[in-house]
Amino acid sequence: MTNEEIWNIGLEERTDKLSKLQSEYDTVAAYSDFLDGVQTKASQLSGISIFQNDRTGYDLKNIELTAQVYAGLTETPIDYYPQKGLYTAITSHFQHTKSFFRCHFSLSV
C-alpha cells in the first residue's frame, strides 16, 4: 500500500471523526434552543382543550411540572467537552501513526 493510499484511507476516517466532533458540539450548542422549545411546547399543549378539560387534571399538571423542571435547567451552564469524537480521533491518529512507522521501518530493514 502506498503512502497516498494510506493517506486517503486516513482522510476518510478523519473526516468521519471530525463529523462526530461537530455533531457533539452542535448538540451542546443547541441545548438552550431545546430548553426554549420545551417551554413553547408546554404553552401550546396547555392551551389545548383536551388537556384543560381532563377530570383529574393530571395531564395539565404534568405539562406544567415538566415546564417547571426544564425551566430550572436554564441556569445550569453547559460547556462543551469533546467526548467520543475527540477520544476516537486522538486514539485513531496515534494508531495510524504507529502503524505507519511499523510498516515503514519493517520495509526498510
pTM: 0.58
Eight-state DSSP code of residue 37: H
Tens digit of each residue's pLDDT (9 = 90 or more) over 4-23: 666 666 677 778 878 888 88
**Which set of grid coordinates corresponds to residue 64?**
406544567
**Residues 60, 52: contact at Cβ < 8 Å?**
yes
Tens digit of each residue's pLDDT (9 = 90 or more) over 60-98: 899 999 999 999 998 888 777 766 655 665 665 555 555
Tens digit of each residue's pLDDT (9 = 90 or more) over 16-48: 878 888 888 888 889 999 999 999 999 999 888
pLDDT at 108: 45
3-state SS string over 45-72? HHCCHHHHCCCCCHHHHHHHHHHHHHHH
